[in-house]
Structure 1
């Protein structure tokens, strides 16, 4: 079985694959200082709880936007599974897609993986919206080429900046406001309207501009932690695919060992 590690700026998501089917997954806060031994203490116990053994794992792939985390995860793979790790975007796991931007080497692993998985699953031109620490909007054309995109502050980053740089505004949870009114009657409601509906308006406006620039019909695929929440309150998305990045890792691992 394949163990995949999707290392984001906030969390590392591990997933155990049988082919392209996810059997189970686990999440831990990203800390590039975490050693291979620390990963082992945590993950090997979880494997056992789920009924799996370390011997079940014969491949390990890492996709990371935090370069410093790769070394310790590689040590973890070699020491505890006796498996040479596959690093997404390197060697036999090169992207193998056209990256049609000014600085191809600057493309984040998560965005390349999303492009690979989206093209594998959906036809035609695509706009992939990924809700992570940052929210990214990526254009993938009908050939699977990555054509560029947009990076915007994630909604939690926006809220952190608002609360952290004001004296009296309180911390609030990210959720849909209680009513559809955009005229708030108290401070908390006004903040939530600004953050939630402001984010919806930003997404709808940017995707509309991207579609106009693409010039052909394009499906919009959403992934990431808040995709399901926003999908309930906008008609923007044609599909919500929470496992897009992880599936990209599994596809890439299959190509690397083929």
Structure 2
């Protein structure tokens, strides 16, 4: 994306409500002041936003409750709820029903197109491992969702009676796993790596932008050249929210 967009509000709070945690990112202009993961707005920050950009993948009921709690905290702040669209910030959604693309994926794709010039593979490795591809023209080509490392392990343990281990048993080794703990943790990791390696071989010339707690560790093992953007979704929310506000003026 050409050029640099200028913030339309002095102080912005981005609320990214994921499945397992809520990420609050405070912006002053284009600068990130702080980032917190909490279940409610963190206290004693001294931050009072002019506008709140709200993006949630939670149920309608959960999102409404969170919305009400935060709006009660900042009744004078303007509120913008972000959803996936057919087109935003120069990016075209691949989905036939654009609103069904998870808003976190959508915002990550938009941010990646903004921060990197060229064709991009976007990887968000958290609760789930999400991969999206966007080309230099801002056309989202589609993507994948697979379970994240912790989810794969939990699924295996919940469906079996005798696969059990203590977290203290999880150690790394170079040879084949010789304990249940290693068999499970390293097996899940190999599955994730195999998936990401196939993506890499399919798009070898694309640049990679990654976010999420497991992204760097996984992709570092593959030797993929990448750009880490821990606040990728928040940056996308800032871009889309600012575009929405400009449209109102």
Q: Matched residues in 1 for 2:213 and 2:162: separation? A: 28
CA distance in 2, matches of 1:185, 1:246: 41
Residue 134 of structure 2: aligned partner: 140
Alignment of 1:59-208 (within 5 A): 59-68=51-60, 69-81=62-74, 82-89=76-83, 95-96=88-89, 97-171=91-165, 178-181=172-175, 183-208=176-201
User: Do the aligned partners of residues 123 and 177 (structure 1) sit closer, same or farther apart at CA in structure 2, a change above 3 Å counting?
Assistant: farther
> Is the 8 Å Cα contact of residues 84 and 98 (structure 2) preserved in structure 1?
no
SS in 2 for 1:148: strand
Q: Displacement, 1:153? A: 1.3
Given that 2:111 and 2:235 are in contact with CA atoms closer than 8 Å, whether structure 1 keeps it comes out as: yes
Give structure 1 stretches of 5+ with no counterpart.
Answer: 30-38
| Aligned mates of 2:21, 2:44 — CA distance in 1 | 17
Residue segments in structure 2 that go unaligned for 5+ positions in a row: 1-10
Q: Aligned in 2, Cα 1:172/1:236: closer, same or farther, shift over 3 Å?
A: farther
Asked if the contact 1:204/1:236 (under 8 Å) is kept, the reply is no
TM-score (norm 2): 0.83
Aligned length: 232
Contact 2:84 2:103 in 1 (8 A): no
Specify the alignment match of 2:49 in structure 1: 57
More helix by share: 1
Distance 1:95 1:173 in 2: 44
SS in 1 for 2:217: helix
Deviation at 1:67, TM superposition (A): 4.0
Shift of 1:99: 1.1
TM-score computed with the length of structure 1 as normaliser: 0.80
| Residue 13 (structure 1) aligned to one of 23, 26, 37 | 23
Q: Deviations over 1:83-103 (max 9, x none)?
A: 231111389xx7343112333
Is structure 2 residue 229 aligned with structure 1 residue 241?
A: yes
My pick for the range that moved more, 189-198 or 148-157, is: 189-198
> Secondary structure of the residue that 2:221 maps to in structure 1?
coil
Structure 1 CA distance, aligned partners of 2:23 and 2:218? 21
Cα RMSD (Å): 2.5
